[in-house]
Amino acid sequence: MAFVDRAYSGLSNNIHGGFEVPDWLSAEHSTGTSIMAVEYNGGVVIGADSRSTTGSYISNRFTDKLTQITEHIYCCRSGSSADTQAIANIVRYHLDFHSIELGEPPLVEAAANIFRELCYNYRDSLMAGIIVAGWDKRRGGQVYCVPLGGMCVRQPLAIGGSGSTYVYGYVDAHFKKDMSKKECLEFVTNTLALAMSRDGSSGGVVRLADLTEKGIERFTVLGDQLPRFYEG
Amino acid sequence: MGSRYDRAITVFSPDGHLLQVEYAQEAVRKGSTAVGVRGSDVVVLGVEKKSVAKLQEERTVRKICLLDDHVVMAFAGLTADARILINRAQIECQSHKLTVEDPVTLEYITRYIAGLKQKYTQSNGRRPFGISCLLAGFDYDGVPHLYQTEPSGIYYEWKANATGRSAKTVREFLEKYYTEELVSTEKGTVKLAIRALLEVVQSGRKHLEIAVMRRGEPMQMLDVEKIEEYVVEIEKEKEEEAEKKKQKK
């Protein structure tokens, strides 16, 4: 069972068939991964790490956690890979249908609410922490946070995944309103690099994307190009 | 002979007809004309727009509907019936994409709609759908298709066809003027569709709605000015043809 994050064994016991197993095989409940999204005037910048784990084995070190829902709406996935992929597919279905009925591209708010409907109504069976981000012509760039229980709230900035806990302080200190696209990209890269260097279940490369009226522009910051901070 | 055998749809008449289905086809014949032409790079659908009452808002009445990004449908007959079928087809297009991760092929969605129509010819207490649909679009392998479904639930593929009022006249026109060479360009295909419609639509240009489906691109509804350009060109050509005939005589 691959996870976008750490292993989640619901019943955490360390005894399998009478044998003691090492601690690191059973995990804490927090969802691995580091994901982030920032609004700016004219669009959003989203970013994620690229590590998928099955227990402590890195099953995919080049994962793409930035998933397209429509041309202008993307989501950052954290939690169970299977759950978040299935949810994203279903949301894509609903939004495609909705946009054909509407005759125009759907609102980011609509996408976020469909995510929320699924995540809330099936909250007991799912493990999915999702950040929905995109651009529409009514409200421009928007970021909506849909964490584990199925809440939905719009924020200028959202961070998620297990790696996010290590960077709340950095984000609070360095976020400013009305940043430019370049500043946002740098801010997201730095934040994710810090999260990845402290969180064991985050790592690999930083995947970035800039979503505007014109569509998506993707970037990848490879391991050796990641900004480096105090590593003592 | 219909009187005793047209009550319930499930009953055959003694001479083997399903009268309700035939009456549904009659309803189609009363609907405004729809025409479809398949070219090599585009598929064109055209419908006759009914003139609106003085006080009525001229919303572009949706007689041409998108079923998915790559499938467009026009119909003739009962508009309300069409709404139901369109809704079911749109859901099926999305459902197909979700389960098999591929967009529907034209044949698949035509078969689905035809299957739906057939069900209503074999159910108790329900009447058939009073519409005939023209489905147009490109499969993901890039091949264009034009299909027609009827209230009975049969479907055929066509190079060009018409349905609704005066369909026969339009079809005869198309049979006369359709050539592979003519429809090899977008302009030729659109012109043929408009010409065919103009044969039967009273007071022509302002009452046409034309949809153009190009490979890999979203559907485009031609706006009034563009249609006007085509109509002017067509009328010029007609005049030139009439001149030539006069000269020959």
pLDDT at A15 over 70: no
Torsion of CA A78, A82, A84, A85, to 10 degrees: 120
Side chain identity at residue B48, one-letter code: E
For chain B, list the domains and their CATH numbers.
19-48+55-243 (3.60.20.10)
Cβ proximity of B45 and B136 under 8 Å:
yes
In sequence order, what are the beta bridge partners of B144? Answer: B138
For chain A, list the domains and their CATH numbers.
29-215 (3.60.20.10)
Instruction: Write the residue in A89, A92, A100 that is nearest to B68 by C-beta.
Output: A100
Contact B94 A93 (CB under 8 A): yes
pLDDT tens, position by position, B83-142: 999 999 999 999 999 999 999 999 999 999 999 999 988 887 888 999 999 999 999 999
Tokens of A200: 């064991």
pLDDT tens, position by position, B229-244: 999 999 899 899 899 9
Residue B5's pLDDT band (boundaries 50, 70, 90)? low
* Residue with the two structure tokens 């890039």: B142
Tokens of B175: 């049979």
Range A174-184 average pLDDT: 94
Cβ proximity of A66 and A48 under 8 Å:
yes
Tokens of A184: 């946002």
Contact A90 B98 (CB under 8 A): yes
Chain A: nearest CA to B170, how far in angstroms?
30
Side chain identity at residue A150, one-letter code: G
Cβ proximity of B170 and B162 under 8 Å:
yes
Q: How much is the pLDDT for A25?
A: 52
pLDDT at B28 over 90: yes
Residue A8's pLDDT band (boundaries 50, 70, 90)? very low
Q: How much is the pLDDT for B62?
A: 78
Cβ proximity of B213 and B43 under 8 Å:
yes
pLDDT tens, position by position, B37-67: 999 999 999 999 887 788 888 776 678 999 9
Please report the residues numbered 164 through 203 in chain B whose beta carbons come closer than 8 angstroms to any beta carbon of chain A.
Answer: none
Cβ proximity of B131 and B82 under 8 Å:
yes
Contact A97 B94 (CB under 8 A): yes
Rounded to two decimals, the pTM is 0.82
Q: Which residues in chain A have their CB less than 8 angstroms from residue B91's CB?
A: 97
Q: How much is the pLDDT for A21?
A: 65
Instruction: Write the residue in B90, B95, B98 that is nearest to A100 by C-beta.
Output: B90
pLDDT at A4 over 80: no
Contact A89 B98 (CB under 8 A): yes
Out of A31, A33, A53, A70, the active site residue is A33
Contact A93 B66 (CB under 8 A): no
What Cα–Cα distance (Å) separates residue B17 from each residue in A154, B11, B14, B197? 61, 9, 7, 32
d(CA A36, CA A165): 12
B25 touches chain A (CB under 8 A): no
Residue B206's pLDDT band (boundaries 50, 70, 90)? confident
Tell me if residue A220 is catalytic: no
Helix boundaries (H) for B101-213: 106-119, 167-177, 186-198
Range A146-175 average pLDDT: 96
B78 touches chain A (CB under 8 A): no
d(CA B180, CA B160): 11
pLDDT tens, position by position, A56-105: 888 899 999 999 999 999 999 999 999 999 999 999 999 999 999 998 99
B91 touches chain A (CB under 8 A): yes
Percentage of chain A beyond pLDDT 70 is 87
Q: Which residues in chain B have their CB less than 8 angstroms from residue A93's CB?
A: 94-95, 97-98
Side chain identity at residue B43, one-letter code: V
Range B167-181 average pLDDT: 95
* Residue with the two structure tokens 């032409």: B37
B94 touches chain A (CB under 8 A): yes
Query: What does pLDDT average to over chain B?
Result: 90
A76 Rama class: left (phi>0) / alpha (psi -120 to 50) / beta? beta
Contact A100 B95 (CB under 8 A): no
d(CA B154, CA B149): 6
